[in-house]
Amino acid sequence: MSERIAPTLLVLDMDRTLINSDWAVQIYGQACKQEGLDIRDQLRNAQTAAEQTAGSFAARSDIEKRADVTPDLMTRVDTTFKELCRQYDHRDMLVFPETEMFLHRAGRLAIPHVILTQGDDPQWQQLKLEAAGLARIPHVIAGLNDESGARITKGGIIASWTESTTGVVAPVGAEPTLSGPQLRARHAVLVDDKGSSFIDLPADHDAYWIQRGMLRPSQQIPAGSEHMAQVITSLLQIDIESYAA
């Protein structure tokens, strides 16, 4: 008997789709302060610069580069960051209000889902996943550029997961390989706040462009690469029942 393949794989961006990344940076600044480092102004400046250039901001690597920061101090800051995020009010601010409900519905409907997050610093992405309580969900942390320095898009990653026989096969282990754990479905649904993520997404997959408030420069889609992404303002606008088996 052949293995049953789910109709849909939800591919969910993390930063600004599931969590409020600006808040993560603020709490990280607070964790630094508690450990004796006041770097809040530097964080703000670095974030503004990264936003303008469509780059992802990695709070952690910016601090790690400082001459006065030892590995031991980094470990303490990371631990304090996770502790602060776990505090009730902070977690409410870090994770968007509808995120848990959306994930719960996807789970109840047995729709396979994976968090696909990109960043320059995989440790910072992992730390946010853990702090937000999302590390339990299968996730893939990808870089921003390939070995040749070319930009990697989420659409391109999903294209690389696309097969003619199954549909999509997403490797989701800690070190994703095609022989490790996988999620399989006939087609993918990508949810992301950055318009450029949809570039290279094969046309038979669905896309939702989540827009909460005004678009930042890094969230705009480059002219000439418009995609059929449906614009939404909340995850709950996705009719996920229609993607269930």
Question: Residue 10, by phi and psi: left (phi above 0), alpha (psi -120 to 50) or beta?
Answer: beta
Check binding of 62 to Mg ion (CB under 5 A). Answer: no
Task: Give the HSE-up count for residue 165: Cα atoms under 13 Å, Cβ half-sphere.
Answer: 3
> Residue 106: what residue type?
A
Check binding of 153 to Mg ion (CB under 5 A). Answer: no
Q: Which of 6, 8, 10, 15 binds Mg ion (CB under 5 A)?
A: 15
Check binding of 139 to Mg ion (CB under 5 A). Answer: no
Q: Which of 6, 9, 11, 16 binds Mg ion (CB under 5 A)?
A: 16
Residue closer to Mg ion (CB basis): 23 or 33: 23
Check binding of 208 to Mg ion (CB under 5 A). Answer: no
Question: Residue 67, by phi and psi: left (phi above 0), alpha (psi -120 to 50) or beta?
Answer: alpha
For residue 200, which of 146, 137, 138, 134 has the smallest C-alpha distance? 146
Q: Which residue is nearest to Mg ion (CB)?
A: 15
Check binding of 200 to Mg ion (CB under 5 A). Answer: no
**Options 5-13, 72-80, 120-128, 135-143: segment touching Mg ion (CB under 5 A):** 5-13
Q: Nearest distance from residue 70's CB to Mg ion, in Å?
A: 31
Check binding of 193 to Mg ion (CB under 5 A). Answer: yes
Q: Nearest distance from residue 136's CB to Mg ion, in Å?
A: 20
**Options 61-69, 168-176, 185-193, 222-230: segment touching Mg ion (CB under 5 A):** 185-193
Check binding of 113 to Mg ion (CB under 5 A). Answer: no
Q: Nearest distance from residue 36's CB to Mg ion, in Å?
A: 31
Q: Nearest distance from residue 35's CB to Mg ion, in Å?
A: 28
Where do contacts with Mg ion occur on this chain (CB under 5 A)? 13, 15-16, 193
